[in-house]
């Protein structure tokens, strides 16, 4: 079975500062993918970044980077230079092996202050 844990229900950050959103995972499958999604108040789920279990380097997409620590089973999202528009819910998710069913965490609410 696969499991995603997001322990931060809410986070606050000052505009232009960096913020790290925590995500730990558990799976017995050596092949898996990790994802982060952003859900603004409009409700749409926006894909941010992907990390494969065999990827040697941490994934980066613009201001988003994924701090992948395989031995610790963590996949933290780092947002650099926060903007007011980054205020949203953020979900960590994973898919492993040949499963068609992803597992989502409970989400972290991020509020960016001006």
Partner 1 sequence: SQTIHQWPATLVQPVGSPLSLECTVEGTSNPNLYWYRQAAGRGLQLLFYSVGIGQISSEVPQNLSASRPQDRQFILSSKKLLLSDSGFYLCAGSQWPLGREQYFGPGTRLTVT
Q: Are 103 and 5 in contact (CB under 8 A)?
A: no
User: Judged by CB, which is closer to partner 1: 3, or 16?
Assistant: 3
Smaller CB distance to partner 1: residue 72 or 100?
100
Task: Output DSSP code: residue 101.
Answer: -
Distance, in Å, from the CA atom of 66 to the CA atom of 49, rounded to the nearest integer, reads: 7
Q: Where on the chain is the footprint of partner 1 (CB under 8 A)?
A: 33, 35, 37, 42-47, 50, 91, 93, 95, 98-102, 104-107
Min dist CB 72 to partner 1, Å, is 23
Residues comprising the chain, all counted? 114
Q: Strand pairing of 32-39 and 24-26?
A: unpaired
Report the nearest approach of partner 1 to the CB of residue 23 (Å).
Answer: 13
Least distance (Å) from partner 1 to the CB of residue 17?
Answer: 25
Q: Based on CB atoms, which residue is closest to partner 1, 40 or 81?
A: 40
Other residues' Cβ atoms within 10 Å of the Cβ of residue 94? 24
């Amino acid at each position: 079975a696969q499991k995603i844990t997001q322990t931060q229900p809410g986070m606050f950050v000052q505009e232009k500062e960096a913020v790290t959103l925590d995500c730990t995972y558990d799976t017995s499958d050596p092949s898996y993918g990790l994802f982060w999604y952003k859900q603004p108040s409009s409700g749409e789920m926006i894909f941010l970044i992907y990390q494969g279990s065999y990827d040697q380097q941490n994934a980066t997409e613009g201001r988003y980077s994924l701090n992948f620590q395989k031995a610790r089973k963590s996949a933290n999202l780092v947002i650099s230079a926060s903007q007011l528009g980054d205020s949203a819910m953020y979900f960590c998710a994973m898919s492993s092996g040949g499963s068609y069913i992803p597992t989502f965490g409970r989400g972290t609410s991020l509020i960016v202050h001006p």
